[in-house]
Structures are given as structure tokens and as C-alpha cells.
């Protein structure tokens, strides 16, 4: 019940394409769902986050879609750019953080 | 201004040695964490402290001992280093989860290599 399952493990997308990363959880106590972006040699940094009372949040090219009944949430990166190449982690939190296993995204120029 | 800073950035040492990693945050957070990230990029929580009190202690060998002298600092001491300890160790901080949830802020990591 404490796990957050993330897929795919790796993703290759052409420049300008849409990158989609999915996460699923079991524990309905989770009330905060952030996504983190990590570049090589750096720590993860918050990209965008959502709470379960909304179904979608958009910030620039990044959108979180949240399906409370299915206990799933996903990150969509529109118009993917080579600079988006990084590892992405979803997470879920109530009184502790649980991170997904990460997705390595590569955007081809 | 560095929000979460950890030192050293790189640590290369022999098996069996004892080493420490220091972490400081200037964000006014009350909760700090240590994570281990392996070569597959998995982020594994090791410890969490809230106001100098240990609140999370995952299954970690007792060779690892965290110490929090105040709520802005969380250091990690590792005794009798083993080859399997080679990884990147991240310090992070946040307001306490469950209390007005806020994101975690990470340092840039300490890459530990055991020879």
C-alpha cells in the first residue's frame, strides 16, 4: 500500500513530441502528488504538483492529469525539447513521502 | 543562495574507513531527510528528522548513524564502509509532511565511491 508504481522506466521522444509518464498508487490517504525533475549531477527539483481535489494542473508545457477513482496520475510534457532530457520521479505524500522508481527521458534533437 | 547544501560533493575512500557527510538547509524547514540513490536512479529514503527528532528510520545497517544538532542540520556518519555503500547520497528538507504539504528541496548530492 506504500508503493508508488511508475512507468515507463525509460522513454525516448522526438523533439516536439509529447512525453507521458504514468504513476499509480494504492493508499487513499495520499493527499499531495508532486513530480520531480533530476538532471545529471544534481538533486531532484520540484517540477509541478497537484492535490487530489483537482483533476488537472498545467504549468507551461507541463501538465499533471489526476484520476482519483483509478488512483493514477500522469505527467505530460508537450512540445518536448532536448533540454527536457532528465530523470523524472513521481511522488505521493501524506505523513511521509513515497517516490516512484523514476523514468529516464531522452528527447532527440 | 544555496537552499540545501551538503559537503563534500565527492568522497572517495577505502573499504573499512569511517566517513561523514554534512547537510545544512536555510529554508526554515523543520524536517530533513537522507536518501540513497543507486546506479539505477532509485531514490531510497534512509532517515527523516523533525525538529531534531528521528521520525523515519528505514531498514538501514546500523553502520549508518544520522545526527541532527539543530533543525537546520542533519549529518550522516558511516562506519566501516563497504563496497555496497557506493552511491549518491542526497539530503533534503521540507515542512513536515501531513502539515500543509510542501515539496522537498534536495541538495546536489554526495557521490561516495568505495575502493
Between A and B, how many CB-CB pairs are < 8 A? 56
CB of B106 closer than 8 Å to CB of B91: yes
For range A3-27, the mean pLDDT: 97
pLDDT digits (tens, 9 = 90+) for A88-99: 999 998 877 899
Above 70 in pLDDT, residue A71? yes
Above 80 in pLDDT, residue A2? no
Round to whole Å and give the CA distance between A76 and A64. 6
CB of B106 closer than 8 Å to CB of B4: yes
Residue B95 is predicted with a pLDDT of 87
Q: Which three cell numbers stand for residue A25?
A: 498508487
Q: Which residues of B touch A (CB under 8 A)?
A: 4, 33, 40-43, 45, 48, 56, 90, 92, 94, 97-98, 101, 103-109
Residues 6-65 of A with CB under 8 A from B: 31-32, 34, 36, 38, 41-46, 49, 51
CB of B68 closer than 8 Å to CB of B49: yes
pLDDT digits (tens, 9 = 90+) for B53-71: 888 878 889 999 999 999 9
10-residue mean pLDDT profile of chain B (115 residues): values are 91 97 96 93 91 84 94 96 97 81 91 96
Amino acid at each position: 500500500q506504500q508503493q508508488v508504481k511508475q512507468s515507463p522506466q525509460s522513454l525516448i521522444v522526438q523533439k516536439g513530441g509529447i512525453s507521458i509518464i504514468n504513476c499509480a498508487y494504492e493508499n487513499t490517504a495520499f493527499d499531495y502528488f508532486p513530480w520531480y525533475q533530476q538532471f545529471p549531477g544534481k538533486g531532484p527539483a520540484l517540477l509541478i504538483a497537484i492535490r487530489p481535489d483537482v483533476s488537472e494542473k498545467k504549468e507551461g508545457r507541463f501538465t499533471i492529469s489526476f484520476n482519483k477513482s483509478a488512483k493514477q496520475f500522469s505527467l505530460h510534457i508537450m512540445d518536448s525539447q532536448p533540454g527536457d532530457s532528465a530523470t523524472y520521479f513521481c511522488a505521493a505524500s501524506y505523513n511521509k513521502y513515497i517516490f516512484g522508481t523514476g523514468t529516464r527521458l531522452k528527447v532527440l534533437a | 543562495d544555496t537552499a540545501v547544501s551538503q559537503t563534500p560533493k565527492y568522497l572517495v575512500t577505502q573499504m573499512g574507513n569511517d566517513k561523514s557527510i554534512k547537510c545544512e538547509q536555510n529554508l526554515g524547514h523543520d524536517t530533513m531527510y537522507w536518501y540513497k540513490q543507486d546506479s539505477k536512479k532509485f531514490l531510497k529514503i534512509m532517515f527523516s528528522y523533525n525538529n531534531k527528532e528521528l521520525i523515519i528510520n528505514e531498514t538501514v545497517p546500523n553502520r549508518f548513524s544520522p545526527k541532527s544538532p539543530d533543525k537546520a542540520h542533519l549529518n550522516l556518519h558511516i562506519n566501516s564502509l563497504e563496497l555496497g555503500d557506493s552511491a549518491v547520497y542526497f539530503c533534503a528538507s521540507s515542512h513536515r509532511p501531513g502539515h500543509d504539504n510542501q515539496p522537498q528541496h534536495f541538495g546536489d548530492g554526495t557521490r561516495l565511491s568505495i575502493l
